[in-house]
């Protein structure tokens, strides 16, 4: 059980975790922290946190579990602020989508990655943001990836694992570099494409008509372009090498399709579309 959970960055992810742990009776007290007092007051009013501090150094005082849910670009600065203020038994974890960036931020802030720092990433979310969008069942049946380093204290890893299990998630362990490559392909590339397609269409001269007649498929595809732009800017910059590798491969695949369309090569188009449908059906049927 967590005695005092400190959430730095009380938004969709942090707020949903707090709600889930409260619902399970797994946390005695939740302290929130962020730059915006009005957002923190909203979290108190919603019953997500018990109290708040705008200064992270004060917020972590006495906490035995600290969740870093800030944008990747702010990670190092916040870690520097809480350095030297942590309780002896405190475990620090995060929810960042690019683990190499988080590990680098921890090294820069602390001089080395502390043994009780456990990098983590819940594979959950919606296109909504903010604490008002949080809900207790967000992590039910979803994956959470932990990427402990060789120097990570096994007890700290287990405490973070138990926290996410209590919230309803399935927890996997993964190497930092492998995590970043997998997420570049499965999450970062799709978001990049959604933003690019919506922006491209929005800049067309007749974009109002295009969006007015957009079918359900377009809404489904473009949904994730409603995600937080600041967060995704930081993710793209933090995981740029892995993203560029996967984009290079995708560009080659798109080029092959363009060549097939230009040449009237229906066989190639049918082969790609059939192969993609088969893979997608296996994925949605849970047989892969």
pLDDT tens readout for residues 223-281: 888 888 988 999 999 999 999 999 999 999 999 999 999 999 999 999 999 999 999 89
The answer to whether residues 147 and 192 belong to one domain is no
Residues spanned by the domain of 71: 2-174
Strands (E), the chain: 2-8, 27-33, 51-52, 65-68, 91-94, 117-118, 120-123, 143-146, 170-173
Q: Rounded to two decimals, what is the model's pTM?
A: 0.88
The answer to whether residues 194 and 120 belong to one domain is no
The answer to whether residues 105 and 236 belong to one domain is no
CA distance 69 to 242: 22
The answer to whether residues 195 and 277 belong to one domain is yes
Strands (E), 34-84: 51-52, 65-68
Assign 286 a pLDDT band (cuts: 50, 70, 90).
low
Q: How many domains does the chain have?
A: 2
Percent of the chain with pLDDT over 70: 98
The answer to whether residues 93 and 188 belong to one domain is no
- Among 155, 174, 193, the domain-final residue is 174
């Amino acid at each position: 059980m967590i005695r005092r959970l400190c959430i730095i960055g009380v938004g969709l992810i942090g707020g949903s975790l707090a709600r889930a742990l409260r619902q399970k009776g797994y946390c005695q007290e939740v302290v929130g922290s962020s730059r915006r007092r009005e957002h923190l007051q909203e979290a108190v009013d919603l019953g997500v946190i018990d109290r708040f501090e705008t200064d992270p150094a004060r917020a972590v005082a006495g906490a035995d579990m600290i969740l870093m849910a800030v944008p990747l670009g702010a990670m190092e600065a916040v870690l520097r602020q809480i350095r030297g203020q942590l309780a002896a038994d405190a475990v620090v974890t995060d929810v960042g989508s690019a683990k190499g960036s988080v590990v680098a931020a921890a090294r820069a802030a602390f001089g080395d990655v502390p043994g009780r720092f456990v990098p983590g990433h819940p594979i959950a979310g919606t296109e909504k943001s903010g604490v008002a969008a949080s809900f207790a069942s967000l992590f039910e049946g979803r994956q959470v990836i932990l990427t402990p380093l060789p120097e990570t204290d096994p007890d700290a890893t287990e405490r973070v694992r138990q926290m996410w299990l209590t919230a309803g998630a399935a927890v996997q362990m993964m190497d930092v570099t492998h995590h970043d490559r997998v997420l570049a392909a499965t999450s970062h590339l799709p978001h990049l494409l959604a933003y690019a397609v919506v922006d491209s269409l929005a800049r067309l001269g007749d974009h109002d008509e295009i969006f007015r007649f957009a079918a359900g498929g377009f809404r489904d595809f473009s949904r994730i372009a409603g995600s937080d732009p600041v967060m995704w800017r930081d993710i793209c910059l933090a995981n740029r090498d892995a993203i560029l590798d996967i984009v290079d491969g995708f560009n080659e695949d798109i080029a092959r399709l363009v060549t097939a369309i230009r040449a009237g090569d229906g066989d190639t188009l049918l082969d790609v579309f059939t192969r993609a449908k088969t893979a997608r059906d296996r994925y949605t049927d849970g047989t892969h």
